[in-house]
Copies of this chain bind each other. A is one copy, B any other.
Amino acid sequence: MVEAPRNTRQRRAVAELMEDLDGFRSAQQIHALLESRDQNVGLSTVYRTLQALADADEVDALRSDDGETLYRRCSRGHHHHLVCRDCGRTVEVEGPTVERWADRVAEENGFADISHTLEIFGTCASCRP
């Protein structure tokens, strides 16, 4: 049985902010956004809270190509992302065909305990000239 986390001002602030965002953001961006809302939360706490939310499957985490971990409030269940490289706007996508293909390829090569990562990046309409 896992202990329920305590209901602190900081956790509420982070969770509420995540509800309001619609793209992937780094921990540091989230920390800055909280300050601009006059909801100061220590950077360590932001990191810890985001990790906890990710572990609890309440946010998705993904690594940007320059090494930062980005977080976003997402719907539950397995899905992938179409992410705008400029503004971070994100569309959740599903690809049952891809899921099956990945599992089949892995099995054919004698691999077990299969998982996969798949992200699509591009420039969204409003970020184009």
On A, residues with C-beta under 8 Å from B are 63, 65, 67, 82, 84-85, 91, 93, 95, 97-98, 101-102, 105-106, 109-125, 128
Contact = CB atoms under 8 A, between A and B. Distances in A.
A82 B102 CA distance: 9
Contact of A115 (B93, B95, B118, B121): B121
Nearest to A102: B120
A117 B119 CA distance: 5
A119 B116 contact: yes
A15 B98 CA distance: 34
B112 A128 contact: yes
A61 to B, nearest CB: 10
